[in-house]
Structure formats: C-alpha cells, structure tokens
Structure 1
C-alpha cells in the first residue's frame, strides 16, 4: 500500500489516566484500574503501526498529553515512547510531555529527558494553596515550585499552565512567581465551567468582569516580564513558542494516537477505507472513540473537510495567532479565493474594529480576540 502525501510532521498522543479528576475538567480522562494501562499500551502499539502504514510520516514534533502522562509509571512511559519511536519516529524539533507537579522527582525528570522529551508542559494552575484547593488540584504550591525548578535544572524547555478568573486568586503573584522559576512559556486559560463537570453540578460560575480582568492583566504583566502574547492564551519568550501547537493554529496535518485523540489527516483516503476520498476534499479530521470502545478497535468519527470548511477552520485557528492569517497563502492551500468569498465578513469586522487587514494579512485586534467566536460566526454564515 502506498502511503499518501503530503507528509505528516506532527503527532499527538493521548494518555487518559489521571490520579484524580479535577472539578473543571471535561477532557476524556479516568482513574487507572487494574489492567487498563497494560491494555492501553498494547493498543497504542497496534494503532501506531497502523498509522505508520497508512500515512507518510516524518515527525517534527511529538506531544504526549492527557490526562496526566507523567502519572504513568517509569516502565509504562518508557514503553509508550518506545512504541512511538518504533513505528512513527520522534520529533526533530520538539517533544513535549505534559506533567503534573506531584509526579516530578530528579530521577524521573532525568528518565524523561533520556527518553527524548525536551519540553515540559506543567499543570501548575496557581502558586496559591487556597486557589489550588478550590480547583481540586492534588499538588500544593511548594510541589509546583519544586517541580518547575527540577525540570528547568534538568534541561527542559518549560511551559507553565495557569488558570485565571478564579475568585480571590492572587494572579499577579502567580504570574511573577512562575516567571521567576525560569519558565520560557506560559499558557493562561480562563476558568470555564463546562456542562457535565463537577463545577457545573455545584453551580460554580465565573463573572465576566473577572474573566476580562484576568485576560487583560495577564497580557499586561507578562508583557512587562519579556513575554510576547503570540496566541490568545499563550505567551513566550523569543524562540520559546510551542512548535507543536503552532501546527494546530496554522492548519497543518497531524496524527492523533490514543483514546479520544483527534487528528487532522491528508485526504489521500479516509482512514480505515480502501477508497480514495472525493476530489473536492482537502483533508479529513478523525476523533478516536473513548477508551473502552477504542480498546476494541472501534472506528472513530471521521469528518471530511472540503475547501470552504478548510478555510473557516483555518480562519478560526489562525486568527487566534498574533500573526493572523495570510489570505494569499490560504487561497493557495485551499483553492478558494478567500478575499473574494468572504469580502463581506472581512469588511464588516474591520469596520467594527475586530479585525485588521494589511495587504494579505488578516489579524484579530485585542477586542476581536475577546469576541473571536462572534467573528468566526460571521464567516460561517457568509
């Protein structure tokens, strides 16, 4: 079987296991039970082999997320990394492991580095014990500081996650404290109450004023500390941007491995079928089923992407970036004249001060970032 082109250069691996489920979390996660991790690792091996046979793969980035990948025992994370390397290779540019502060030790950090991980995304969330308790985190502020310090000292490029808009949170102290620990990247997410979560069942709410204040305070303070906001929720020192996440925002194809993992695939053919896709489809998206169905080999949800959907997806993701979207490049990639097709939506949002258009570069303004869903809805309805 000939693997289709173009080459896929990015891989996301989902590890669904967590020591506990946070009250705000709506990801596909679960606590480990006897035998489940072993079954998961066997299935990862099989799925990695299948992906290697179906697609041309030459990886620039690998991102192992969850869940809590660092919750895997040493032999388990070694086996997982081995399956990826054996069938799909390893990222030339960046290999990220998501890490819970409570799982870090000097020896474990050294093992992760030896396995080839060079970037750590650490779920700090806050450096205030009261805030961490409210968020249901299992680590405390001391563990978070020690974890980041250990990872920086082991040679990782470290990104720290923060949650903002928590009532009573000392946000400035959280930000300054995280930066002082030596991180080169910060991901700052507003606390969002998702349906079905424990917070939703408890009636927890987030005030819009707190949300907006956190949004603005984070950008202002990190800017003073030498970080650039290169995406709505992400800040980096020069050269410390997440290369893997940039692939998502730039509309690149990537493999999704593991239960609940989503992938964006070349449209040479639909996954699990011998037939070519229709000529007007550019890519396909597939979302794997959750763990128990995935373990049986059940097929995931497949969504063929035509030119118009490709463009609206690219606008939704690309407008999250400070650099915005190059409309000429998007026209070339999609075969659709983007400026002509969406002239009305572009003009209307420029008039409202939500977008700017300079040459071929379409960008969201700060107000446009705040109302990005509304902006993209205009394109969907065009």
Structure 2
C-alpha cells in the first residue's frame, strides 16, 4: 500500500508546570514544592524552550493544555508570563485552551484573569465532595472550597471539567457524582484510585480492592449516563459538545509538542530517518533547567500502530483501521488479523466495517487486548 500520510504540522501543545503546594500521597507525577527563585528560572527556561520548539517544528495550534503539578498555584504575574511565552513563540489554540486548577487557588478575580488570558476550559481537581474522602486522599481543599471553585469558574464563562477519584474506601460516590453535576460541569473525568510504586500510599500499604474498582467503574457510567452525560472514553464523560479536544489528540495518535520539565511530546519524524514519529520526554526540573536534552525514542510504523490501538480503543468509537493504515503505511487489518479475530471471538472487540471497537468487557481488560497485538 502507499506510504504513510501523517500531518507534518503539529496542532497540539502540552505544557508541564511541576509546582504543587503539597504532594498528594497517591501522586507519582514529576512535581515539587516551590522554592525561592525556582519559578523564575522555570519561566526563563520555558521561554527558551518555546522558541526552540517554534524553530524546529511547524506549529499551528488547535489546543493548548497546561497541566502539572498545579498550574493554578502560579501567581498571577507568573501565569501571565507563561501564557505570554506560549503566545509569543507558538501561538494559542484556536479550538480549546485548558488550565488545570486546584480548587483552593480559585477566587473571582483569578477566574476572571484566567479567562482574560485565553483559557476557555478548566480541569478542576475536585476528586471528591466528601470531606472525609478528601482528607484520606491528602487533598488540601475541602468540599466547600471545591463547590465554590466550580461555581466561580462556571460563572466566569469557562467550560469546566471535574476530576473524580473512585474506589476510595467509604467514598459516597453517588453523592460525589450528583453533586458535581449539580454544580454545572459539562465534563467529568473519573479515575480509579491507583497505588503507584514509590508513592506515600504505597509505602503505607494502601490497597484498592478489585471489587471496589469494578463497582466504581460501573456505578460511574450508570449515574452519569442517567444524568445526560455520554461516556466517550474509558474514564471520561461529557455533555454534547463538551468533550476534551486536547485529550482526543492523545487518544487518536496525533502529534503534539511537550514543553516544560518532564513533559512528553509526540513529534513528526525527520524525513529519511526510518522512523514514523518521535517521542521525546524532557528531563526533570534541575536537568531541564540546565538545558539537558530529553530522551528521544524513534517510533516505527508497527509501534505507532500498537500505540494508536492502545489509545484509540479507549474511545467509544474505537479506531478506524483504514485511517490508521493510511497514517502508518501498514495494512493494519491484515497485519493484525490474528489478534483481531482472537479478541472478536472472546467478545472483547467488535468490528463494523473498518471500525474496531472495544466492548465494555474489552475496556475492562484493555491491557490484555493490546498485549495480543504486541505479541502478534
């Protein structure tokens, strides 16, 4: 079949802000508390790296996503400087610009500033609306602050997504979900509590029971569907028109720029190098501040396809195999015929024309499904 047909223009940007007021006991991201002079050095380095990215890649941005860490922990002058560096060198997203927000950092004046800077979407780390659950999770905000933050952002005209953590012992999940929806959010991200190695929860021996995980997984879908939300990805639900355009870029295997310490990017590969795309992960803060290069991993057509299947099967609509074949240059349906047939027979996938989808059971066992493609 003809060679791959990937867009050489990058249309998405992820920016990592590593600073947090405290480190949550379940967190394994690259985060740290701020110290004198560190944020200033971070902002200077962002300016340099944004200029470098602009010189290396053709960027015409549809989405910008500033995550962390706690980006809203930056002071007003600092978030203004960060947005200025992005705009100056890379532009701004035409379709969507998201800021991750901690409920304890929101005030009417700050919500208005973020909107003025061009953020039209907020991803708010609510996690729960139950004080006992928040205390267990080590969150610094309480339910009252969480509710007030969402109300302020909705009132400022920002599209709001609320994050929830499920499968927490004793959590009143139904109250959390109904309460969040009543506040006016148009999007909910619901993630199972996961105990990662090296976290405080891991050191304390905290565990998550599979029955609790499964119950939360199913209860979340039942409740949010009844409340007018559609499950468009394994862990994400939205009212019509409220899906995360930026996160869809990840799930659809698109390229994106990564800016900041620890940030990952998925880039078009240089012609003639043998790779289809390039994945680069920046070093952690202190090495990144010194200008150290990140790890670069060339992605060939087969790895591109298996990555795209792993991410794309998380979506309700699944993967268009013809489109993936066009983008990768591989005949995906022929190359992975065995893995497709095996998972169809087990009821974990469905195939409608060229559209390959995971069933509800397939979503639950997606790692095993994709392992069949890796082994095939």
State the TM-score, normalizing by the size of structure 2.
0.98
What residue number does 1:221 align with?
223
Measure, in 2, the Cα distance between the counterparts of 1:25 and 1:139.
16
What does the per-residue CA deviation read over 1:276-300, in whole Å, with 9 as the maximum and x for residues that have no partner?
552x311000000000000000010
Query: Following the alignment from structure 2 to structure 1, what is the Cα–Cα distance between the partners of residues 25 and 151?
Result: 27
Decide which of 355, 362, 366 is 1:372's aligned counterpart.
366
Change (3 A) 1:232 1:5: closer
1:5/1:56 contact within 8 Å kept: no
- Partners of 2:249 and 2:30 in 1: how far apart? 22
For residues 12-46 of structure 1, the C-alpha deviation after alignment (integer angstroms, 9 at most, x for no partner) is 00000000000000000000001100000000000
Q: Which residue of 1 aligns with 2:196?
A: 194
Stretches of 4+ aligned residues off by more than 6 angstroms: none
Highest RCO, 1 vs 2 (Cα 8 Å, sep ≥ 6): 2
1:294 and 1:375 mapped to 2: Cα distance?
36
Aligned to 1:6: 8
Using the TM superposition, give the Cα deviation of residue 129 of structure 1 relative to its aligned residue in structure 2, in angstroms. 0.0
Q: Tell whether 2:348 aligns with 1:319.
A: no
Pairing partner for 1:23 from 15, 22, 25: 25
For residue 5 of structure 1, report the CA deviation from its aligned partner. Answer: 6.4
Return the alpha-carbon distance in structure 2 between the equivalents of residues 288 and 281 of structure 1: 19
**Cα deviations across residues 158-217 of structure 1 (Å, max 9, x unaligned)?**
000000000100000000000000000000000000000000000000000000000000
Provide the C-alpha distance between the structure 2 equivalents of 1:343 and 1:220, rounded to a whole number of angstroms.
34
In structure 1, the partner of 2:51 is: 49
Which residue, 330, 333, 356 being the options, matches 2:350?
Answer: 356
Equivalent-residue separation in structure 2 for 1:116 and 1:213 (angstroms): 39
TM-score (norm 1): 0.96
SS at match of 1:260: coil
Which secondary structure does the structure 2 equivalent of 1:152 belong to? helix
1:111 matched to 2:113: yes
* Equivalenced residues, count: 371
1:159 correspondence with 2:153: no
- Residue 305 of structure 1 corresponds to which residue in structure 2? 299
1:1-382 alignment, distance < 5 Å: 6-268=8-270, 277-278=272-273, 280-382=274-376
Q: Deviations over 1:248-267 (max 9, x none)?
A: 00011000000000000001
Cα deviation 1:321-375 (Å, max 9, x = unaligned) = 0000000000111110001100000000011000001100000000000000000
SS of residue in 2 equivalent to 1:132: helix
Unaligned runs of at least 5 residues, structure 1: 269-275
Say which SS state the counterpart of residue 276 (structure 2) adopts.
Answer: strand
CA contact (8 A) 1:122 1:159 kept: yes
Question: Would you say the 8 A contact 1:5–1:55 is kept in 2?
Answer: no
Secondary structure in structure 2 of the residue aligned to 1:281: coil
Shift in Å, 1:6: 1.1
The match for 1:273 is none
